[in-house]
Amino acid sequence: MTIPFIDIQAQRGRIGDAIDAAILQVTRSGQFVMGPQVHEFEAKLAAFGNARHALSCSNGTDSLMFLLMAWGVGPGDAVFCPSFTFAATAEVVALLGAIPVFVDIDPSTYNIDAVHLEATIEATKREGRFTPRVIIAVDLFGQPADYPALATVAHAHGLKLLADTAQGFGCRLHGKHPLHWADASSLSFFPAKPLGAYGDGGAILTDDDELHDVLSSIRVHGQATPRDAAARGFEHDPKYLNMRLGSNGRLDTIQAAVLIEKLTIFEDEIARRNKIAARYSNALAPHVARVPEIIVGAVPTWAQYTIEHEDRDGLAAHLKSQGIPTAVYYPIPVHQQPAYNCYPVGPGGLPVTENKASRVISLPMSPYLDDATQDAIVVAVKSYG
């Protein structure tokens, strides 16, 4: 038996016909770019995320990039982010000429540590080489970061707080989405994400009207916003009046159509993921070094179910021999990657990040993982010395 790591196809048994019909509707309409489904999806996404605005875009990386561009982040600015994440979190900072400053993580949740963040900001200020501008929190593995603590730090230092919820859209803390505390949230709809498209896609959530207008401009080559056009008396297509540097970052209409259908069952899928994760933890807690610890008041989305093991690589080989795939997120922290090892880290280095990178391993997870398959995975993990 071969078990998929993330069973993307299982969902098709539930809504495959509806998705196929939605795609066909787009192909028949011929409105492949910024068609009506894009605006419909944005409205429904904003409602789900309890946001005033949702702006879709081409991928999760662009959602991060566009926010930093809208906030004017550039050379000489410092952006504080974890190193225990995918490279995109720091990549967008460096591409804009700013400086990613890496912060250690909480050993329980793997998310950015608010105490070390505070120390890192203070050290950066004392050094005086860079101007602190933004904090990027990552909802790693689908669990919300400690946003109340992070918001306190951000407000104390006058910094923007960006929730990189690429893995965690739909997660809640004390019943609230990360946007309740953050200035904006960035989302990814990569197919393997809990809310995944049939290709690339991303979005930004914000309650800031002016920020949303600027983001709408950046998404289409810096085109004029309605306010820009009115101020200049410009009556032509706004894409021919370019007010700022932008990009080509639109979400395809077909992807929006797919995501509309997926959003209708997303809440139920989150509930299923939590039941499966709890079942894993109850069965595996006595047999591995560590099962996930959930921050108090959190409902994660479980993009991954990640344990720790003293012999991570040996366990991976053992499970592979039985047809059970695993993944390691992330074997090399960003601050140790060749492209990023020139950037600063917080005081004392990142010992927790480096320790966890050698111990974590993720097991198969999807909202459609049945009991029998999960039991087979658990037995295989237990059987490894």
Q: Which positions are catalytic? A: 193
List Cβ neighbours of 314 (8 Å cut-off, separation of 6 or more): 384
Contacts of 40 (CB under 8 A, 6+ apart): 256, 260
Name the token pair of 93. 């900072």
The structure tokens listed for 19 are: 């998705």
Residues contacting 167, CB < 8 A, separation 6+ = 138, 139, 140, 141, 142, 188, 193, 194, 301, 303, 304
Q: What is the DSSP string of 54-99?
A: EEEES-HHHHHHHHHHHTT--TTEEEEEESSS-THHHHHHHHTT-E
Query: φ and ψ at 54, to 5 degrees?
Result: -130, 130
> Cβ atoms within 10 A of the Cβ of 323, count?
11
279 by Cβ neighbours in 10 Å (0-12 / 13-18 / 19+) ranks as: middle
